[in-house]
């Protein structure tokens, strides 16, 4: 707004009133002359206001009306403000259009939800992946449109650390991965992507490993069978062959355990957890203790079991394999005369199994990667023990299938403690104890 407008208008009004008063005084009617001047002044401003209103209300008139004095600068100022606003609006529309074009070109579905969980906006890919229709689904709660119980549980949990994978509600053959992000005030941004291809490749990889391991196991059994037979009659063999045959036998046994572990891992990855019943863990640990003593052999380690009379639900074979791997590792990586303690107990936090040894221990940088397949903390150590490098990967998978997790604590040169934690929901009613 032009600030000079008002003083000029006031000056004009004062001059007009003085002139009117002078002329009125000459005619002997100064008051009437002033009133008539004021009325004319008001009428002129009223007319200008009317012109402004007509201009502002009529969208078709772009240019402002011609105005003089204060009204000329008011019209100009409003016109410039309007033009500035129009330019800003156009720029913002352009930005929104570009964002819309960009998200429409995305292969991943993007959805925006308000803090009530109602749909506010989504892109083209989301419509296709989830079968949404703009006309009827806008403003609807997402949990009414994606009705799977696992989605509702994931959505309500409000903790979105890991993504959720499930079949698409629009096409059960399409496997989707959902990742939710909270923003602003509990509003949610959902990104869903089609992971069917990755799943297929993963399944192919799993099938390949399972088939290759299966196919290798038969010829290997034959080879190690013959090697055993030869070794049984080693007295009849030339001396230079005996050492070679022993080594061949050792290596074939290693390959057999490797194949066994690979098959076990692929079973854990592919099969559903169905027949889980009560597992009497103390008895299972006593059996494993006997096996561990046999494995310890001349090392004569002190292996102790302290188990509460508590059962858990699960698959006995899988749990035995996981606990066995931890116990046998303790035997393998603990020096002669060392001590190994196996504890099984229940508390308010859940069910726990720990295997503690005072053996070689592991340097802390290795700890986060120990459950990766074929990861070894120390290659030379592994060469002596002849492990497969798959033991802890099996433990991790078994625990995952039993809602549990593995905690690893270790101190180089002092020993290690591997603890399996299970939730209380895994507690099984022990009928013998009740009786
Ligand atoms: P491996 O067949 O080589 O034992 P695992 O997956 O069972 O494979 O273990 C991975 C690595 O973790 C081992 O190579 C070893 O270096 C380390 N490790 C596992 N358990 C222990 C333990 N109780 N004490 C020291 N090191 C261990």
Please give the backbone phi and psi of residue 342, each rounded to the nearest 5 degrees, phi first: -115, 125
Average pLDDT, integer, range 260-283: 85
Residue 245: CB partners within 8 Å, gap ≥ 6?
Answer: 227, 230, 231, 234, 237
Residue 432 banded pLDDT, cuts 50, 70, 90: low
Cβ distance 61 to 82 under 8 Å? no
Tell whether ligand 1 has an atom less than 6 A from the beta carbon of residue 389. Answer: yes
Going by their DSSP bridges, the two strands 339-347 and 302-307 should be labelled as: parallel
| pLDDT computed for residue 1 by the predictor | 46
Average pLDDT, integer, range 327-339: 95
Paired tokens of 180: 């939710």
| pLDDT computed for residue 309 by the predictor | 92
CA-proximal residue: ligand 1, atom 8 (nearest): 389
| pLDDT computed for residue 433 by the predictor | 52
Residue 434 banded pLDDT, cuts 50, 70, 90: very low
CA-wise closest residue to 268 among 211, 188, 206: 206
Paired tokens of 409: 């604590």
CA-wise closest residue to 432 among 229, 281, 241, 242: 281
Tell whether ligand 1 has an atom less than 6 A from the beta carbon of residue 333. Answer: yes
| pLDDT computed for residue 379 by the predictor | 64
Segment 191-224, tens digit of pLDDT:
999 999 998 998 898 889 889 988 998 899 999 9
- Residue 430 in this model has a pLDDT that exceeds 70: no
pTM to 2 decimal places: 0.67
Tell whether ligand 1 has an atom less than 6 A from the beta carbon of residue 377. Answer: yes
Provide the mean pLDDT of the chain: 89
Share of the chain above pLDDT 90, in %: 56
| pLDDT computed for residue 278 by the predictor | 92
Segment 396-415, tens digit of pLDDT:
999 999 999 999 999 999 99
CA-proximal residue: ligand 1, atom 14 (nearest): 376
Share of the chain above pLDDT 70, in %: 94
Tell whether ligand 1 has an atom less than 6 A from the beta carbon of residue 155. Answer: no
How many angstroms is it from 49 CA to the middle of ligand 1? 89
Tell whether ligand 1 has an atom less than 6 A from the beta carbon of residue 329. Answer: yes
Residue 435 banded pLDDT, cuts 50, 70, 90: very low
Angstrom distance (rounded) from CA 214 to CA 193: 34
Higher-scoring residue by pLDDT: 233, 176: 176
Tell whether ligand 1 has an atom less than 6 A from the beta carbon of residue 199. Answer: no
How many angstroms is it from 7 CA to the middle of ligand 1? 91
Segment 107-158, tens digit of pLDDT:
999 999 999 999 999 999 999 999 998 888 999 999 999 988 999 999 988 7
CA-377 nearest atom, ligand 1: 16
Angstrom distance (rounded) from CA 435 to CA 433: 5
Tell whether ligand 1 has an atom less than 6 A from the beta carbon of residue 360. Answer: yes
| pLDDT computed for residue 202 by the predictor | 87
Residue 274 banded pLDDT, cuts 50, 70, 90: low
CA-proximal residue: ligand 1, atom 13 (nearest): 376
Tell whether ligand 1 has an atom less than 6 A from the beta carbon of residue 382. Answer: yes
How many angstroms is it from 335 CA to the middle of ligand 1? 14
Number of other residues whose CB lies within 10 A of the CB of residue 271: 11
Paired tokens of 190: 């959902």
- Residue 236 in this model has a pLDDT that exceeds 70: yes
Residue 3 banded pLDDT, cuts 50, 70, 90: low
How many angstroms is it from 261 CA to the middle of ligand 1? 14
Q: Ligand 1, from 255, 265, 377: best to mutate by most atoms within 8 Å of Cβ?
A: 377
Residue 18 banded pLDDT, cuts 50, 70, 90: very high
């Amino acid at each position: 707004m032009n600030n000079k407008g008002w003083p000029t208008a006031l000056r004009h009004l004062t001059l007009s009133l003085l002139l009117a008063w002078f002329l009125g005084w000459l005619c002997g009617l100064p008051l009437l002359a002033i009133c008539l001047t004021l009325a004319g002044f008001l009428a002129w401003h009223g007319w200008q206001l009317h012109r402004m209103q007509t201009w502002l209300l009529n969208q078709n008139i772009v240019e402002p009306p011609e105005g003089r004095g204060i009204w000329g600068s008011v019209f100009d100022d409003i016109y410039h403000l309007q033009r500035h606003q129009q330019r800003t609006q156009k720029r913002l529309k352009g930005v929104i259009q570009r964002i819309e074009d960009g998200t429409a070109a995305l292969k991943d579905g993007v959805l925006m939800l308000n803090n009530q969980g109602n749909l506010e906006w989504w892109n083209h890919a989301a419509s296709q992946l989830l079968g949404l229709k703009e006309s009827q689904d806008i403003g609807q709660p997402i949990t009414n449109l994606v009705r799977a119980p696992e989605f509702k549980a994931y959505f309500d949990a409000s903790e979105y650390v890991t993504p959720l994978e499930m079949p698409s509600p629009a096409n059960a053959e399409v496997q989707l991965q959902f990742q939710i992000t909270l923003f602003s005030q509990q509003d949610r941004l959902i990104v869903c992507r089609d992971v069917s291809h990755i799943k297929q490749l993963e399944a192919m990889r799993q099938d390949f490993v399972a088939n290759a391991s299966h196919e290798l196991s038969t010829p290997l059994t034959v080879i190690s069978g013959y090697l055993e037979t030869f070794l049984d009659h080693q007295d009849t063999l030339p001396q230079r062959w005996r050492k070679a045959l022993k080594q061949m036998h050792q290596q074939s046994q290693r390959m057999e355990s490797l194949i066994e572990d690979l098959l076990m891992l692929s079973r854990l990855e592919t099969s559903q957890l169905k027949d889980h019943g009560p597992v009497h863990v103390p008895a299972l640990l006593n059996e494993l203790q006997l096996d561990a003593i046999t494995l310890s052999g001349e090392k004569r380690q002190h292996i102790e079991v302290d188990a509460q009379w508590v059962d858990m639900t699960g698959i006995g074979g899988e749990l035995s394999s996981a606990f066995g791997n931890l116990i046998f590792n303790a035997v393998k990586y603990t020096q002669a005369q060392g001590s190994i303690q196996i504890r099984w107990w229940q508390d308010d936090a859940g069910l726990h199994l720990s295997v503690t040894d005072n053996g070689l221990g592991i340097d802390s940088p290795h700890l986060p990667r120990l459950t990766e397949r074929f990861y070894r903390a120390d290659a030379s150590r592994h060469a002596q023990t002849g492990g497969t490098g798959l033991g802890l990967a099996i433990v991790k998978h078994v625990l995952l299938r039993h809602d549990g997790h593995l905690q690893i604590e270790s101190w180089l040169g002092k020993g290690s403690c591997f603890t399996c934690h299970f939730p209380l929901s895994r507690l099984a009613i022990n009928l013998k104890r009740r009786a």
